[in-house]
Every structure is written in structure tokens, then in C-alpha cells.
Amino acid sequence: MKPTMMKRNSFWLALSLVLMVVSSLVASAVQTNGYTVTVKNMSWETASGESMSALLYKPNGVSADHKAPAIVVSHGWWNNKEMQDANYVELARRGYVVLSIDMYGHGDSDYLTSDITLGGTGMYDAVKLIADLPYVDASKIGVSGHSNGARAANFSVAIDNAAEKPLIAAVFLVDNDPVYTDATNDNAYFNLYGTRDTGLVADQYDEFFFRSYSAEGAVLTPPREYIGTPNAQSFLHYGTDPKDISDVREAGTFYTDGASGAIRVVFTPPQTHPWGTISKGTVADQLDFFDKAFGAPTAIDSGSQVWQIKETFTTLGLIGFAIFLLAFARTLLSTRAFAGLKLEAPMAVAPNTRAGLGWFWGAMVVSALVSGISYVVMSNTPWIQGISFNFLPTIFTQGAVFFIAFWAAVNGLAAILIMAISYLLFGRKNGMSPRALGLLPGWRKVGLAAALAVVTVAAAYGIVFFFSWLLNTDFRFWTIAVKDFGADKLWIALLYVPFFLVYFVANSVAINVFNRFTLRGKEWLNTLVLALVNALAPIVLVVAQYVTFFVTGYTIPNFGGIFSIWLFPVIVILAATAVLSRKLYRITGNPYIGGFISATVVTLIAVSNTLTVIY
């Protein structure tokens, strides 16, 4: 690189490091409430004989002489313990002891087996642990979970009901139905929760739950009408059969049973299922509920929340991580080991013609159509669903990752076909030389590209692991998370990285070798268009899903809500990797570097933030 380019790259490298350092320091300060809460990264063998991972948040003032209420919180399916940061930050700063778990099959806990109820999917095993801590008031233990974390809470209550000494005093379910009927008694309405204080968040636009069904399984009411349904009214009336209920109870009102004093409340915010994890309103509802149930040791208004500061700075750390990948890779090009990949001058852009622009826009439209149509078709293909939801025993123990990786590979193969047709019918006749443009750089340069990618990704994740060890922080925003992981995830990654390599290498070749020109004389405009087109199909599918949902109250028929949710991080990743590969190609003329880095990072992000099932 020229001195001016090296100086500019040094600035970006320094900025990336500053962003990650500041992100980690601020996130640590927030989650420890100014270091008045001690955070411990725990792993132990549970009563079920499984290894469980969790983050323990202990306010510094609690002790055997000053015991505090305790809350076990859980993420949903395909997530991990850090996804509960809004709740554990706010609960801990109000004086509760909080244990945020990796349910079995998630994060660093043991893999999930066919018995998903084992130890309440880990939650009840966590309750047993926290009940034995000397500084916990064992009469005030609550459980809370989002989505399948709420199902784990339901499993845990059932186990607790059968225990010689029940441990759970309060339950807060977020975005999953309570248990309304007794399967062992002809599905009669009953009160699973007994005298426990129990609260519920039922989103009006929940993609999965809070619908009423006919005896034949037909949907009768959308989730936004949940509060008036027999199920909701029975829950608020402590399991009473709806036909015996004479009054209608409302959302947002705390009801108290006259005999036991047990609380029941339902909140119905106008939000979607995944939004429940970063909703200020839902966090406030949870804080109000546990304050009613136990009394907060430290009185702070539920609307006064600071977790958003942590989320803002971990987002900045995520941006810093992305910048580091590019800046560090460019720095390596100045070393003796990788100097052979560097061009003497940046790769020149090709002049564009009317015919060339026609092929460009035509290829973009076809690629977006293939991307969107293939995604919808795959979401309705039984054998793919069987693997994706771990119904079928295969080597792909992370079904959700398989779905995205397989879809990526299909689109990678489609891109190769589109490029081949473009070259044969247009490029070859107009003097295009794939070899000169870096498609065939030689095996040595392909090997060097792979080595540079490995070193770059290893350095980036080295920073992630360092701050995880030092401060228990990571880099994330909502459903996108770069975090540490166990060595086992590297072996799992080997199953999926070939699929992602097909896509990201083909995509890098398409973006750079076949579309190396400007739009309106501006290269950045071409890069922007390519990044947007990369993410266009997911954007259209997400917009179509939620416009339909908000207008009709239902998701698009035959396009399940989980498939649109899986696209949220994909949109950002596809746009960002397009920019990464374009910038690396400009100074190397090698499209494989960006493809290798993107495939490796995306694979590691995917396998470390999902569910692993063994059969």
C-alpha cells in the first residue's frame, strides 16, 4: 500500500481497537452497576447429570445476614445467556441475585438430548443451585424466560409441583403461552401455577403464540385479540373454566386471589416476538411484576433503565470488530508473509457500457429473485424442515444453521451459473479476462488468501476472547452477536463452513470480478448498490411478512414466523460482507480473501449462537 493508504489504514485499525476497548469497558461498567454487582461466569454439573453454563449477578451488599430474592432468567430457542442482558442488568441493579442460564443445548451448556424437559431444560436445575446459595432468600425465588425460555419455566413449575419442597415462588412468562389445561384430566382447565405469583407478556404481534384454535386446529383469533380469549381469561381467573367466569379481566391490571393472595397479570404490548428481548416496556413490566411479588431490595422506578447504554456500546464494539477484520487484513498485506497478495496499484475499474449495465441490472434482479424464491421454497420443504428443526437425526446437529447455510450454498451455486452465462453470452465477446481480474490467481495465491483469512479471524476472535475472560463482555446488537465459544464449536463449524464458502466466495467473485465498474462515475455507489442487492431479498421478505402481520393480524400463509426472524441478522451480514470483499479486492485483485474471511466469521457467529441437539 502507498504511504497515504497505510496511514489511512492505521487510523481505521486504531479506531477499531478503540471501539472494542471502549465497548467492553462501558458494557462492563453498566452490567456491574458501576462495579457494585459482581459477575461470575459459572459452569457446574447439575442434579440432572448435565453440565450447565450461566452468568451469576450478585449485588455486593447481599450476604448470609442480608439475603436477597433471586431470579433465574432464560433466553429462547437458538440463543444464549447473554440475550437476557436487559433483564439481568436491571434486576441486579435493583438488588436481586440473578442467574442467566444457557439452557441445555445452548451456549456452553451440554447439548440437548431428546428429553427437552430434563431439569426443566436446565432451568429447574439452576433453581436448585440458586436455592442453596447462602445469600439467597429461598422463599423468594422467581423464574423468567423468553419464548422457549418461558416453556422451560412451565416445565420447571411442573417439576416443582411434584417436589417434596417447592422452590419457585413467582413466574414471569415472556412470549410463550402459559399452561391452561391438564393433559392428564381430559384437557380440563386448571391452575398449574397454584399460589405462585404469575405474570405474562403476550405480544399482539407474536409470530408463534397466543392464538385460539378450533377443535379441528383452525386458527380462530390472532394474538392481538388474546386478552379476550377463554385461555387468557382462565389464566387471569386462576384456572377457572371459562364457562364459569362471569367477569372479563383486562390487560395490564394486577389481580390478586382472595384466598392465597397470588398475583396474576397479563401485559399485551403491540410488538413482535423477538422484540420482547430488547423492549423497554417488557423489561419495565417484568420489574414491576417482581417488585409486586417480592419487593425490590433497591427501589428504582421501572422506567429508569440503563441496559440500553450497554446495548449501544456492544453495538459499537460489533462495528469495531467488523472494521478490524478489514483493517487488520490490509495491515497483513504489508508483511513479508502476505506481501505477494498486494497489488502495486489498486485494481482499476472497468469502463461501463449500456449493454454492460443491462447485464449488471439483469443479473442483480435474477439473483434477488433466486434468493427470495429459494428461501420460501426451502421453508416449505419437509425434509429441510426436518433437519432445520432437528426432527430428523442427521450429522447436522444445529438445524437452524443448516437451513441458512444450505440456502447460502444454493444461492452460491446460482451465482456461479449466472456468472457463467454472463461470461459466455457477454463478457467473453467484450474482452473480459477472468484470469486478469483475479478469478484464476493460481493455487499459491488462493492458499495465501486462506492463510490470511485464518490469521485475521484468529486475531479478531482473540480480542473477543480476551474481553470475555477479563470483563464478561462480548460484541452484539439484538440478534447479531460475536462471542467466545468452546473448542467443540470449531468441530461443529467444520460441518457448515463448506456451505458458507460456496456462497461467500461465489458472491465475492460476482461482486468484484464480474461487476468491477462504477455507477455514475462513483465506485462507492456501485459498492452500495451491490451491498443492498445482496440483502434485497431478505429485506423484501421481512417487510412483506410484517406488513401483512400488522394489517391482518396473521403472518403470511405458508411462511412461518421463524423464517422471517432468522433473516434479521442475515440482512446486516450480507450487506457488510459485500463491502468487506469489495475493499479487499481493490488492493489485492484477489476475490478469495474476502470470501474466506466472510465465510469463516459467519460460520463462527452462527454455530456459537444457536441450539445443538444430539440424538
Q: What is the CATH number of the domain that holds 96?
A: 3.40.50.1820
Asked if residue 163 belongs to a domain, the reply is yes
pLDDT recorded at residue 148: 96
- Domain co-membership, 530 together with 459: yes
Residue 1 clears pLDDT 60, i.e. is over it: no
- Residue partners of 493: CB distance under 8 A and separation at least 6: 603, 604, 607
Residue 282 clears pLDDT 60, i.e. is over it: yes
Residue 246 clears pLDDT 60, i.e. is over it: yes
d(CA 100, CA 88): 7
Question: Which among 280, 300, 320 is the end of a domain?
Answer: 300
- Residue partners of 103: CB distance under 8 A and separation at least 6: 74, 75, 109, 112, 121, 122, 123, 148, 149, 152
pLDDT tens digits, residue range 500-530? Answer: 999 999 999 988 887 766 666 677 787 888 8
Asked if residue 5 belongs to a domain, the reply is no
- Domain co-membership, 234 together with 335: no
Residue 460 clears pLDDT 80, i.e. is over it: yes
Tell me which of 13-22, 417-426, 484-493, 545-554 is least confident.
Answer: 417-426
Asked if residue 124 belongs to a domain, the reply is yes
Asked if residue 433 belongs to a domain, the reply is yes
pLDDT recorded at residue 419: 87
Q: Where are the beta strands (DSSP E) in 483-590?
A: none
Range 581-602 average pLDDT: 94
Range 124-128 average pLDDT: 98
Asked if residue 7 belongs to a domain, the reply is no
Phi, psi (degrees; rounded to nearest 5) at 312? -65, -45
pLDDT recorded at residue 519: 67
- C-alpha grid cell for residue 31? 452490567
pLDDT recorded at residue 278: 94
- Residue partners of 459: CB distance under 8 A and separation at least 6: 324, 328
pLDDT tens digits, residue range 38-69? Answer: 999 999 999 999 999 999 999 999 999 999 99
Band of pLDDT at residue 592, cut at 50, 70 and 90: very high
- Domain co-membership, 285 together with 332: no
- Domain co-membership, 378 together with 323: yes
Band of pLDDT at residue 312, cut at 50, 70 and 90: very high
pLDDT tens digits, residue range 356-407? Answer: 778 778 888 999 999 999 999 999 999 999 999 999 889 999 999 999 999 9
pLDDT tens digits, residue range 177-193? Answer: 999 999 999 999 999 99
Residue span of the structural domain in which 196 resides: 32-300
Question: Which among 300, 328, 363 is the end of a domain?
Answer: 300
- Domain co-membership, 119 together with 202: yes
User: Identity (one letter) of the amino acid at 403?
Assistant: F
- Domain co-membership, 366 together with 403: yes
Band of pLDDT at residue 441, cut at 50, 70 and 90: confident
Tell me which of 7-16, 143-152, 300-309, 402-411 is least confident.
Answer: 7-16
Asked if residues 130 and 162 have their Cβ atoms less than 8 Å apart, the reply is no
Asked if residue 78 belongs to a domain, the reply is yes
Asked if residues 423 and 439 have their Cβ atoms less than 8 Å apart, the reply is no
- Domain co-membership, 336 together with 221: no
Residue 431 clears pLDDT 80, i.e. is over it: no
Q: What is the dihedral of CA 32, 319, 575, 460, to 10 degrees?
A: -100
**C-alpha angle 601-605-606 in degrees, rounded to nearest 5:** 115
- Domain co-membership, 417 together with 352: yes
- Domain co-membership, 328 together with 193: no
Question: Which among 300, 334, 353 is the end of a domain?
Answer: 300
Residue 32 clears pLDDT 70, i.e. is over it: yes
Asked if residue 6 belongs to a domain, the reply is no
pLDDT recorded at residue 361: 83
Asked if residues 181 and 247 have their Cβ atoms less than 8 Å apart, the reply is no
Residue 112 clears pLDDT 60, i.e. is over it: yes
Asked if residue 519 belongs to a domain, the reply is yes
Residue 3 clears pLDDT 70, i.e. is over it: no
Residue 434 clears pLDDT 80, i.e. is over it: no
- Domain co-membership, 249 together with 321: no
Burial of 581 (0-12, 13-18, 19+ CB in 10 A): buried
pLDDT recorded at residue 4: 67
Tell me which of 17-31, 289-303, 338-352 is least confident.
Answer: 338-352
Neighbouring C-beta atoms of residue 220, cutoff 10 Å: 10
**Mean pLDDT over all residues of the chain?**
93
d(CA 270, CA 267): 10
- Domain co-membership, 206 together with 165: yes
- Domain co-membership, 59 together with 100: yes
- Residue partners of 451: CB distance under 8 A and separation at least 6: 337, 338
pLDDT recorded at residue 2: 62
393-398 contacts, C-beta under 8 A, 24 or more apart: 393/615, 395/495, 396/495, 396/496, 397/111, 397/492, 397/612, 397/613, 397/614, 398/492, 398/495, 398/496, 398/606, 398/607, 398/610, 398/611, 398/612, 398/613
Domains contained in the chain, number? 2
Tell me which of 180 and 424 has the higher pLDDT.
Answer: 180
